[in-house]
Amino acid sequence: MALKKIFVTLFTVLVLANLIGLTSCKLNQGKESKSELLQKTLAYHDPENNWPKLKARFYLTSTDTTGKTNSFELEIDNTIGYFAHISRKNGKEVIKGMAGGKAFYLLDGKKEISDADRKEYDLTSDAVKWVHQFHGYLYGLPMKLTDESAQPSDNPATEVFNGESYQVLQVTYDPTIGSDHWYFYLDPRTYAMQAYKFNHGKPESGEYILLEQEETVQGIKVPKVRKWYLNKNNRYLGTDTLVKTEPLTSSRNS
């Protein structure tokens, strides 16, 4: 998977995502928050609280630093806690998913998979959880910031980042979970999420992501383009692009 090769510093993010409950179907958007900025960006991105009932298929591409592009799909049904990542390799369809809190994987639609193919296509429960945590967190932002372990706070000052002025929503987590610090950069007029970055307790660690354009998916405003960079030297890592979406009417594990 191209993302796994590109974003080598995301391990901490994924551990964090697992610990804040991304592997369950619990959705906490109704949770009260003391963060005024969080409430304002939720009001912009998901004004009708549609995230808990989202049922959609996302078609995406991931482009690395060499210009190589891989296509993949995501299926999300938050009403039942269903998720699937669909990719293609060597002419075969590879599916990694979660349903009812349990991992599943398919190769060309088949559950019976040889040991050699499991190894070749990285078909393990851990691999499924990695993919679920990665995409479940990123494509659930900012709604996932209402999860119980998230500790959002507002920066009263305007901060200049990447040449633009933003209101900053800061998010940390319980020290027993991890030391990652997240910063969400919001348009001071609309409170649209336009960039975010994270570090592992030191400013030079971690990555930042610039967001461009938007797609409205079942009433939710979702970033269309995500461009990834290293904090320490601004080195470009890759780009994810949302090509299109459609309603999800069936699941891969049914």
> Which amino acid, residue 69?
T
CATH of the domain at 200: 2.50.20
Residue with token string 């992501």:
209
**109 lies in some domain:** yes
Distance separating alpha carbons of residues 28 and 38, to the nearest angstrom: 13
What does the pLDDT average to over 147-160? Answer: 82
**254 lies in some domain:** no
pLDDT in tens, 52-109: 999 999 999 999 999 999 999 999 999 999 999 999 999 999 999 999 999 999 999 9
Residue 177: what pLDDT? 62
Residue 170: what pLDDT? 92
pLDDT in tens, 186-232: 999 999 999 999 998 888 899 999 999 999 999 999 999 999 999 99
**252 lies in some domain:** no
**248 lies in some domain:** no
Distance separating alpha carbons of residues 95 and 117, to the nearest angstrom: 13
**What tokens does 197 get?**
């970055």
**253 lies in some domain:** no
Residue 17: what pLDDT? 45
Residue 173: what pLDDT? 78
Residue 195: Cβ within 10 Å count: 20
Looking at every residue in the chain, the average pLDDT score rounds to: 86
Q: How many domains does the chain have?
A: 1
Provide the domain limits for residue 6: 2-243
**249 lies in some domain:** no
The three-state secondary structure class of 245 is strand
Residue 10: what pLDDT? 46
What does the pLDDT average to over 141-153? Answer: 87
Enter the pTM of the model: 0.84
